[in-house]
Amino acid sequence: MVTNNHEVEIKFKIINSSFIRKILKKQGAQFIGKAFEKTFRFDTTDKNLEQRGQFLRVRTGFKNVITFKRKIENKKFKEREEIELEISNPEKMRMILENLGFTKILIMEKYREKWRSDDKEIVIDRLPMGMFIEIEGEEKVIKEMVKTLGFDFKDKITGTYWDLWREFSKKEGIKDENIIFTSKKVKTKNANF
């Protein structure tokens, strides 16, 4: 969850999402819904934003938003400053950003399921490289949820999906920088969402 333009989260790779749903229901979490999300990540051709630990995206799915993120040093969690604004026309926003010099564009596709309780947001994501759960909230709340779900905190992932994709595509010999389902070499295991 974003509080005061600040987000703290971690991920875990999962194989089966049904046990997570059962625990979330038992804990009284509210099911928000499912959506296919498409993210357009913008940078300069020399990747100036990435080199500075910054991230600029337009995302469609649950809603259309433009988001700016900046890394905050944290060894145990993924922590970011996040500024997000709902937009009405993602295509026109893309055109504006390209005209401002953000011409390096990467695409990410994912199926996302959102759950929320008072102090945390849990999402279940299916991407071309597998399924993941993301837990977002205060550090203490995240640790409690990790324990409730039966995960081992040492197995957490603090990298981004882009980081995971680079590792996966290198291992699988995939040349595409985009995280998309239509890539011929990507075989989505665990297609059940």
CATH number at residue 55: 2.40.320.10
Q: Could you report how far apart the first and last alpha carbons of the chain are, in Å?
A: 22
Q: State how many domains the chain has.
A: 1
The yes-or-no verdict on residue 80 having pLDDT over 70 is yes
Angstrom distances, CA of residue 100 to CA of 43, 97, 103, 104: 10, 5, 8, 11
> Is 11 a domain residue?
yes
Q: pLDDT grade, residue 184 (50/70/90)?
A: low
In a domain, 118, yes or no: yes
Tokens 């988001």 sit at which residue? 67
Is 122 among the domain residues?
A: yes
* Cα distances (Å, whole numbers) of residue 59 to 14, 79, 103, 180: 24, 20, 16, 14
Residue 77's domain comprises 6-172
> Radius of gyration of the chain from Cα atoms?
17
pLDDT digits (tens, 9 = 90+) for 112-144: 999 998 889 999 999 999 999 999 999 999 999
Q: Is residue 1 part of a domain?
A: no
Asked if the structure places residue 183 within a domain, the reply is: no
pLDDT at 187 over 70: no
In a domain, 148, yes or no: yes
User: Is pLDDT larger for residue 118 or for residue 180?
Assistant: 180
177 found inside a domain: no
Element at 132 (helix H, strand E): strand 130-137
Neighbours of 184 (CB within 10 A): 7
Give a yes or no: residue 179 inside a domain.
no
47 compared with 4, residue with greater pLDDT: 47
